[in-house]
Amino acid sequence: MVKPGGVYNLRTDFFTYSPHLIQVERLYEQKLGDVTLKDAKKEGYLDPEEFREDWVKLYKDWTSDRYVWVVEFSYLGSIRAFI
């Protein structure tokens, strides 16, 4: 579990970490059905419908009342830049 203010290496899969660092800015729960246009754009989508379509492709289900964790973070760069 990540914590706000924490600095973490990005993972490319469950056991492999990349040299890239992020800092968690905010962590909160949100209902999938409450995703706004602004939220979808932060995720890189044009609108909530495009976000929903991709979610269903990835997770095979969309339940509007389901709570998910949202992790807002800043990219800090490569750890190589700090060495």
In a domain, 2, yes or no: no
In a domain, 13, yes or no: yes
In a domain, 64, yes or no: yes
Please, are residues 30 and 67 in contact by the beta-carbon 8 Å criterion? yes
Long-range contacts of 46-54 (CB under 8 A, 24+ apart): none
Q: How many helices, marked H, and strands, marked E, lie in the chain?
A: 2, 3
In a domain, 48, yes or no: yes
Total domains in the fold of the chain? 1
In a domain, 43, yes or no: yes
In a domain, 1, yes or no: no
- pLDDT, tens digit (0-9, with 9 covering 90-100), for 45-68: 999 999 999 999 999 999 999 999
In a domain, 67, yes or no: yes
Instruction: Give the span between the Cα atoms of 75 and 53, in whole angstroms.
Output: 26
Kindly report the backbone phi and psi dihedral angles of residue 49, in degrees, each rounded to the nearest multiple of 5, phi listed first. -65, -40
- Residues of the domain holding 77: 7-82
Q: Is the pLDDT of residue 83 over 60?
A: no
In a domain, 37, yes or no: yes
